[in-house]
Amino acid sequence: MKIYTGSGDRGKTSLFSGERVAKDHERIEAYGDLDELNSVIGALAASLPHPAEGVRPELEAAQAVLFEIGAWLATSPGSAAAGLLPPVDPQAAAALERSIDRMDAALPSLGGFILPGGSPAGSWAHLARTVCRRVERRVVRLAAAQAATPGDESMQRSIVYLNRLSDYLFVLARHLNRIQGSAERLWKR
């Protein structure tokens, strides 16, 4: 199977639901940013130090949920294809909350803003967090544009999940830096 088709050479692409849209359509922008987030999480997973290997399954679970969200983003609400998509599971956000609580329990309390960085893995987690926040903004904008259409529940669950994922990635960055002995640097004016 060829990877290239040439069908997008004129600035259009197809949604999962079959419609042809411009490559800068808000849906394409949203799932393109989501794809970037998934790739950054993959780089984060590849950079994990041995003592942090236990979080790899959590990162892979997040990547799987991101693929599910991507399917919703790539599908027009109310289309026949939307009826084929499984709903975004609310338990996915709850699983992130449990992981956040587990890691946060071992971290010192924060007394201010920390500078993103630290160890390589911690830095990747901070980068993933910022990309996740951008994706969340895009999905919020898309959800507002399609208000009161079928699939709203999965869009709302996607927003909740992305919000929780960015929190998870922040705490993960702190956790990774702690276990690698990389001190947090507080922002000072």
What does the domain layout of the chain look like in residue ranges?
A: 17-179
56/110 Cα distance (integer angstroms): 25
Structure tokens at 26: 């808000």
pLDDT reported for residue 150: 57
| N-terminal to C-terminal alpha carbon distance within the chain | 56
User: What is residue 183's predicted lDDT score, i.e. its pLDDT?
Assistant: 85
Which residue carries 């922040």 as its tokens? 170
Fold of 17-179: Hypothetical Protein Ta1238; Chain: A; (1.20.1200)
User: pLDDT truncated to tens, each residue of the chain (189 aa)?
Assistant: 766 676 666 778 777 787 888 788 898 899 999 999 999 999 999 999 888 889 999 999 999 999 999 999 998 888 888 888 998 999 999 999 999 999 999 998 988 899 899 999 999 999 999 999 999 999 999 988 877 565 578 889 999 999 999 999 999 999 999 999 988 888 887
Helices assigned H by DSSP within the chain: 26-46, 56-73, 91-104, 120-145, 152-179
Q: Give every CB contact of residue 34 below 8 A, 6+ residues apart in sequence.
A: 66, 69, 70, 73, 135, 138, 139
- For residue 187, the model assigns a pLDDT of 87
pLDDT score of 164: 98
Cα angle for residues 34, 43, 139 (degrees, 5° grid): 15
